[in-house]
């Protein structure tokens, strides 16, 4: 509904008034002006109250006439949606009117009067705006300070000593009630249409199926499903639809990595279905070969680290906080980060005397999520220039969200996705030799380094100054399970 609708409504009403005035079709004299004012006031009041029955009684229309039937249909409460009627009632409550007494013309059995109606300028706050809920539209109407005017000319006929409106069929009355049936862009509540949902899986594939009791095909493009693997986002995508069922699929080229997979189907902020699938351990790292699936999911790492050589695998946990925070600060983050970000470092001692030294990104993805989650509130405060949780809640509310938690999770997921390809650039290859408990590593990429075997089967490597990794402290590598 465009502004031109409102302007045309006023123009039509004004044209009727001007044409009658210029033609002087009504002879002066006859009816008392006070009687016309009283009749105009009664009819205007009925219009404001949107009382179809009362309006019809104040006209000379037959109760079965097209004009009355149309009025009752539109004001009766069933022709439009519940949301549209709620909005129409809210607009109607803002209407006031004033009878232009100077416009009154009277004759023996005929008269007319112009009434100026003032109402909220609903087009200014509803046109082209997408609302999550009808309450958002009602709030917009309530807070709107702009007003618009509509002029209607009432033509009266004297019948059985009662002045009745005789021009109810004029299009100007249709225009007056154009706020009924306003084409609201309100997101429907699809949760009420969900019949059931379920999850299923194979070794390489899992899915969430959400069944609806009505056709929702027109909304599928606005649906999104998210797959989490052990609390970090593995995939976000648009589902597909068939026979009133929405399918949310996730598959990989090889076996699914062991872990907990959560799938959620969302339509804007409405959760339409949710499922959890637990994949048991199908493979193991170590055993001298370091085998793993190595499938990679949505850019996050490599799954369990897959070495390029056969041999014995050892893993050390390194404190990567300083190195990661240095990168964040370079990106403009200016807060005091809390917590620790760890990354697993793998060394494979090959059967052929070669070694491979690398970061295992499969653990890095989850650890980045946990680290950012621990710091998301101060990040949000810094970004939004607020200093309290109450202000964060107020900001979320101003964005139309139910709670700050919704905003928090949305930003957290988006932020973590920014780091989906992050790695510390740790990858070395070379040769190694042993002499008693000492392991000598030689590589063309870095200065040669050494490791010392420990009594428990682990060995310690002094990595030196490696961009703050592990606070420049030695790493202890343990045999992979």
Angle at 120 between CA 119 and CA 123, to 5 degrees: 120
Question: 70 and 153 in one domain?
Answer: yes
Share of the chain above pLDDT 90, in %: 23
Q: CA-to-CA distance for 346 and 11, rounded, in angstroms?
A: 79
- 66 and 213 assigned to the same domain: no
Yes or no: say if 265 and 273 are a contact pair by the CB < 8 Å rule: yes
In which band, very low, low, confident or very high, does the pLDDT at 418 lie, cut at 50, 70 and 90?
A: low
In a domain, 173, yes or no: yes
The answer, yes or no, to whether residue 15 has pLDDT greater than 70, is no
Q: What's the chain's average pLDDT? A: 79
Question: Residue 423 — very low, low, confident or very high, per pLDDT cuts 50/70/90?
Answer: low
What is the enclosing helix (H) or strand (E) of 199? strand 194-201
Mean pLDDT of the 422-426 span: 68
24 or 380, higher pLDDT: 380
Question: Can you tell me the distance from the alpha carbon of 348 to that of 307, in angstroms, rounded to the nearest whole number?
Answer: 7
CA torsion angle 437 443 445 446 (round to 10): 30
Task: Identify whether residues 102 and 58 lie together within a single domain.
Answer: yes
- Axis-axis angle for helices 134-143, 82-92 (nearest 10): 10
DSSP classification of residue 330 = H
Same domain, 423 and 464: yes
Question: 477 near 458, Cβ under 8 Å?
Answer: yes
Domain shared by 365 and 455, yes or no: yes
Q: Which two tokens stand for residue 273?
A: 């279905």
What phi and psi, each to the nearest 5 degrees, are found at residue 190? -80, -15
Domain of 237, CATH number, reads: 2.60.40.10
87 falls within a domain = yes
Closest to 122 (Cα-Cα) out of 80, 94, 152? 94
CATH code of the domain in which 124 resides: 3.10.450.50
Which 3 state secondary structure label does DSSP give 411? Answer: helix
Are the beta carbons of 126 and 184 closer than 8 angstroms?
yes
pLDDT digits (tens, 9 = 90+) for 231-259: 788 888 999 999 899 999 998 877 888 88
Together in a domain, 181 and 236 = no
Q: Domain for residue 303, yes or no?
A: no
292 in a structural domain: no
Residue 243 forms part of a structural domain: yes
- The Cα 157–Cα 111 span in angstroms is 7
227 membership: H or E segment, kind and range: strand 223-229
Clarify whether residues 395 and 349 are in a common domain.
Answer: yes
pLDDT of residue 230: 83
Average pLDDT, integer, range 153-163: 92
465 and 382: one domain?
yes
68, 162: one domain: yes
Q: For residues 206 and 180, state if they share a domain.
A: no
Predicted confidence (pLDDT) at residue 431 exceeds the cutoff of 60? yes
CA distances from 389 to 382, 396, 405 (A): 12, 11, 11
pLDDT digits (tens, 9 = 90+) for 83-113: 888 888 999 999 999 999 999 998 888 999 9
Q: Are residues 233 and 320 in the same domain?
A: no
Number of domains within the chain? 3
Q: Could you list the residue range(s) of the whole structural domain that residue 354 is in?
A: 311-479
- Between 240 and 10, the higher pLDDT residue: 240
Q: Is residue 321 part of a domain?
A: yes
Whether 193 maps to a domain, the answer reads no
249 and 364 inside one domain? no
- For the cut 50, the answer to whether the pLDDT of residue 432 exceeds it is yes
User: Is 301 inside any structural domain?
Assistant: no
Predicted confidence band of residue 445 (pLDDT cuts 50, 70, 90): low
The pair phi, psi for residue 302, each rounded to 5°, is -125, 15
**pLDDT 10s digits, 257-288:** 888 888 999 988 788 988 888 887 643 322 22
């Amino acid at each position: 509904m465009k502004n031109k609708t409102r302007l045309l409504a006023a123009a039509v009403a004004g044209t009727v008034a001007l044409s009658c005035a210029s033609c002087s079709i009504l002879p002066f004299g006859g009816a008392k002006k006070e009687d016309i004012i009283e009749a105009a006031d009664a009819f205007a009041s009925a219009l404001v109250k949107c009382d179809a029955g009362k309006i019809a009684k104040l006209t000379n229309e037959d109760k079965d006439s097209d004009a009355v039937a149309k009025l009752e249909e539109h004001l009766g409460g069933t022709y439009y949606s519940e949301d549209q009627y709620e909005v129409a009632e809210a607009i109607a409550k803002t209407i006031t009117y004033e009878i232009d007494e100077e416009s009154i013309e009277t004759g023996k059995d005929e008269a007319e009067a112009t009434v100026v109606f003032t109402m909220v300028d609903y087009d200014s706050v509803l046109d082209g705006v997408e609302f999550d809920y009808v309450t958002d539209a009602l709030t917009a109407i309530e807070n709107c300070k702009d007003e618009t005017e509509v002029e209607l000319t009432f033509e009266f006929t004297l019948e059985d000593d009662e002045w009745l409106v005789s021009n109810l069929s004029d299009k100007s009355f249709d225009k007056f009630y154009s706020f009924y049936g306003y084409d609201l862009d309100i997101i429907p509540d699809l949760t009420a249409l969900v019949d059931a949902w379920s999850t299923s899986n194979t070794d390489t594939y899992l899915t969430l199926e959400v069944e609806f009791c009505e056709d929702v095909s027109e909304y599928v493009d606005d649906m999104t499903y998210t797959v989490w693997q052990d609390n970090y986002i593995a995939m976000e995508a648009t589902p597909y639809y068939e026979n009133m069922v929405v399918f949310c699929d996730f598959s990989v080229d090889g076996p699914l990595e062991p872990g907990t997979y959560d799938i959620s189907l969302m339509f804007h902020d409405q959760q339409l279905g949710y499922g959890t699938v637990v994949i048991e351990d199908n493979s193991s790292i170590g055993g001298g070969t370091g085998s793993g699936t190595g499938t990679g999911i949505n850019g996050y790492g490599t799954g369990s680290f897959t070495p390029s050589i056969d041999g014995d695998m050892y893993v050390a946990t390194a404190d990567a906080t300083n190195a990661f925070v240095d990168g964040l600060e370079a990106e403009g983050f200016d807060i005091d980060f809390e917590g620790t970000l760890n990354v697993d470092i793998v060394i494979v001692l090959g059967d052929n005397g070669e070694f491979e030294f690398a970061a295992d990104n499969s653990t890095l993805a989850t650890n980045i999520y946990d680290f950012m989650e621990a710091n998301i509130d101060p990040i949000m405060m810094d970004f939004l220039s607020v200093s309290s949780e109450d202000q964060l809640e107020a900001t979320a509310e101003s964005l139309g969200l139910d709670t700050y938690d919704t905003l928090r999770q949305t930003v957290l997921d988006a932020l973590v996705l920014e780091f989906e390809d992050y790695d510390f650039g740790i990858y070395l290859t070379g040769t190694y030799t042993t002499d008693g408990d000492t392991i000598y590593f030689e590589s063309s990429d870095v200065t040669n380094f050494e490791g010392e075997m420990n009594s428990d089967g682990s060995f310690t490597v002094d990595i030196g100054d490696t961009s703050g990794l592990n606070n420049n402290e030695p790493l202890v590598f343990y045999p992979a399970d």
